[in-house]
Structure 1
Amino acid sequence: MFALSSGPPPAGVAVIRLSGTGVFDIVRRITGSRRLPPAREARLRTLYRPADHAPLDQALVLIFPGPNSFTGEDSAELHCHGSPATVSAVQAALSALGARPAEAGEFTRRAFESGRLDLTQVEALSDLIAAETDLQRDQALAQAGGRLRDLAESWRDQLVALMADIEAQLDFSDEGDVESAGTHAEALRAGPLAALAASMATALEGAAIAERIRHGLVIAVTGPPNAGKSSLINSLARRDVAIVTPHAGTTRDVIEVHLDLGGLPALLLDTAGLRETEDPIEAEGIARARARASTADLVLDLGPGGNVVNRIDESGDAPGFHSGRLHISARTGAGLPELEAWLADWASARIPSGEPPAVTTARQQHLIEAALEAVRSALLHRDPVLMAEDLRTAAHALGRLSGRIDPEVVLGAIFSRFCIGK
């Protein structure tokens, strides 16, 4: 399979990635050379059209033998010139040589299937590609580096060890050197199991912060028609994203704009002007505006008595904060630096600095909550059989977290740690 891995042409350079069985033979044929470049070393080669051996481009060619590649398979990259004609011709040549276009996300899927990535790292790669602020990038990089994977594997290793201990007590309690299963279960509740539950609970505390980092703090701009909401949105976004006219009811639906507030992500909402109307379309827009504003982290109200006073270029008011309200002119920009600085301070107070959270998606949160619930249930049991079943449930949830579930791992741990076999 192959795909354009860089941005769409035209561009200075286009990177076409290949992966799968027979990739190196395709590289030999498209370069007209039986000699491959040394692994992970770029070499300048001419690319040829298979049908008539006409030259297509001069490109840097790299090969990555599996399993030490991103996908775990034999892979290659062609760094050619990024014109539409060149990219199209090279892709056509690859198709003629038997390669097929990759499906969406197929390279990453093969990396997961080959064990090069787990599901938490796959999610992190998606977040890293979509990152618009420094904080989003830092969080995605930490996750892509295996932060949650390592933590979850540590939890699961502890669960496996605890299950192995309990099952050993159950199966071999008649041995003189093995304490009773009930006594051992009490010891587990008092020590390692309680510590494990506390560790999971601590990791979950950052989930809400991580979700805000991924999607941004939500700021709704509200007010009556012609209050200057769309003009303010355009000024903060530094581009025309909302239509501005003197006619009331121009904004009919909620417009979303992503902002970078000093490295912190925010989602700015331009809402329909709040007023009574007989127009069913405008009424629907107003209903949506009220619904979104009710769930926003912050509302900038440009209405009478609101927290933002616009159009000071018409009233003659001085820009800045007066009597708890911020006076601005979205048209001239007066007071906007004060507003942006205030928004950045407000955002930083809600997203604390420090190490990025470990749990970053709703899927991860759900599975760790399921694991924690099972561990807490195990803490309540006096019956070691029920305790072991709860621990098995917790381990299963953590296995789903990474996408790797191996029910035989408990059996392996028992025989590796205890010399009690037949």
Structure 2
Amino acid sequence: MAFGTRVRAIAVVALTVALAACSPSSDSSSSEPSEALTADTGATTVTFRLWDEVAAPAYEESFDAFMAQHPDIKVQVEVVPWADYWERLPLDLQSGDMADVFWTNTSNFGRYADNGNLIDVGAALGSDHDEWTESVVALYERDGTLWGVPQLWDSIALYYNKDLVDAAGVDPTTLTWAPGGDPAAGDTLLAAAQALTTDSAGLRPTDEGFNKDSRATFGFNAQADLQAIYLDWLGSAGAIFQDEDGAFAFASPEGVAAFQYLVDMVNTWYVAPSAADTNTNGDITRDLFLQGKLALFQSGPYNLKTIADNATFEWGLAPMVAGPEGRVSVVHGVAAVGNADTENMSATVDVLKWLGSVEGQSALASRGIAFPGVVDAQQAFVDYWNERGVDVQVFIDAANGSTIPAPVGPNVNAGANEITPILQEMFLGTLPVAEALEQAQEAGNAAME
């Protein structure tokens, strides 16, 4: 399964990323693209493709403003659902049916850049544009060339159930993990998670008679979730996921310490849901949080709307859990790229310029869909949530702090397909951590060769 920005279509997680900057994906089919020149107006038609039906109306609003300023260009929005998106993309590029501008993510753009399918954005747009989020820009640079215009981004923070943390006397803003859960090394997360985990009799994991098979509440969402959990854990341990050449490099002593802590939360300390559940339904921890059965839920802004709309208790946002190297968040983003084979190069470049402007991204921000890639458009997103009593500053702080790169490379998805089942077995407790990481790294790298 492909790495991607977090969308509800990639709910079973392991190595899928919602990597998450946008709302639930669409299951609707795409509209048919128009001819390059519309017969009624003579305007040049530029097609724009994405996979998210919730973001699509914001883009339509944005392009209405664009077309008012550029009456000689008509922009048509196509939605292709995530389930079909990546299968159709190479076929449509080959047949000449691909949109002029389209969404991509970090794990997929590399092969198309290498194949000459994409417009060199750096050359086409130059440096005279509104400021873009630098961490997202870096994700779409390859061999010294920028290939995408940042659209959406997300980072990681900690959602918490205020009733549960208050009752347990836990401060969610200062949580830190250390190898082995050693308090002498500064660990506060394990004790907090134990205080927040109870069985049906109200006993905690540290109490005699605690029944792990009848847990009523869980402390923390330790699971095989790359974006929200283990990439961040690797970074905060001082480990890396990929080296400078794109090879997987997580089977280091620091990587083992990071994963061992997460696996122990599930299988030794019993403060996280079973991997038998989370391996097959990555959203189960979000659902447990909404049911009041999970106290601490580390995740991204891609879950803001769902939680805000459905939580029946008081909740809040705190900084993500820190580790030996402090707080280290993955920052992932979606970019808009241009089709190098477009028949309407000038108009396509004009659309790309619009998509990289404050005005072009204001609809995405003001509707609260995602943090926009244009820095000066981000306040509208902040204001949207402030009006609803939610302070999203923790996500901005995470993005501006220490970060770990999202998965990149033209063949990284092939590696992901090999890594996923091995890491799932590790989280189940059926493979020792060090052995599993060595196996996964070797198999993943072999698949990327």
TM-score normalised by length of structure 1: 0.21
Higher relative contact order (CA 8 A, sep 6+): 2
